[in-house]
């Protein structure tokens, strides 16, 4: 599944693509989890279905130790049958009105997962659009936080994470992400070059 918008950030790349995150081969997949780590609908359900029961077994062990995962944080499991080594289960905020710390908590999800990736020598990783499903975060606001937080982190850390894929399931969400990524600039030249070679 090819990325259709690529932003070069030093040695690293931020890629945008529309598709099924469970089908994309990377070192680490980020799951939009709930604080009970109990599985659910949306991308959480899709990751558990595709990855198999081993992921939930690991989450049950983690839950027995820590009880729950705090909003803005994440826990790590293996990836089961997914085309990855790890799943980072990030707990995004439920959106109320944007005035109850939601932007900071959402940005924290991305930063925590990137730090977990760096600690595990992850080179490639993929994120879904965290909190925009049943947690109700407006897609445009969430996309802006995702793009800016990941881009800032990649500019500040040249190793080991080299490729971050922001994966949108719907065409509508993908168009929002693309529009917000345009000002980062280098993506446009890369996009034109890719179109010329396709």
As annotated, the active-site residues are 44
Of the candidates 132, 125, 56, 123, the residue with the CA atom closest to the CA atom of residue 94: 132
Let me know: does 141 contact 93? Beta carbons within 8 Å.
Answer: no
Q: For every residue of 118-156, which 3-state class applies, written as one string?
A: HHCCCCEEEECCCCCCCCCCCHHHHHHHHHHHHHHHHHH
Of the candidates 186, 104, 187, 191, the residue with the CA atom closest to the CA atom of residue 141: 104
| Strand-by-strand arrangement of the 28-33 sheet | 5-9, 12-18, 163-168, 124-127, 28-33, 86-91, 74-78
The reply to whether omega before 73 is within 30° of 0 (cis) is no
Q: Whole-angstrom Cα distance, residue 4 to residue 94?
A: 30
Q: Helix (H, G, I), strand (E, B), or coil: what is residue 86?
A: strand
């Amino acid at each position: 599944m090819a990325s259709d918008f690529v932003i070069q950030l030093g040695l690293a790349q931020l890629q945008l693509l529309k598709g099924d995150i469970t089908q994309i081969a990377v070192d680490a997949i980020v799951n939009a989890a709930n604080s009970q780590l109990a599985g659910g609908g949306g991308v959480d359900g899709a990751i558990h279905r595709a990855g198999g029961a081993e992921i939930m077994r690991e989450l049950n062990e983690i839950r027995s130790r820590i009880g729950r995962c705090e909003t803005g944080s994440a826990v790590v499991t293996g990836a089961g049958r997914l085309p990855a080594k790890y799943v980072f289960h990030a707990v995004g905020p439920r959106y109320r009105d944007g005035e109850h710390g939601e932007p900071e908590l959402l940005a924290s999800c991305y930063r925590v997962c990137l730090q977990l990736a760096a600690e595990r020598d992850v080179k490639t990783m993929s994120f879904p659009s965290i909190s925009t499903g049943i947690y109700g975060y407006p897609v445009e606001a969430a996309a802006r936080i995702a793009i800016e937080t990941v881009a800032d982190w990649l500019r500040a850390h040249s190793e080991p994470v080299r490729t971050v894929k922001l994966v949108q399931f719907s065409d509508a969400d993908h168009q929002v992400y693309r529009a917000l990524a345009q000002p980062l600039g280098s993506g446009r030249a890369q996009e034109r070059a890719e179109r010329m070679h396709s």
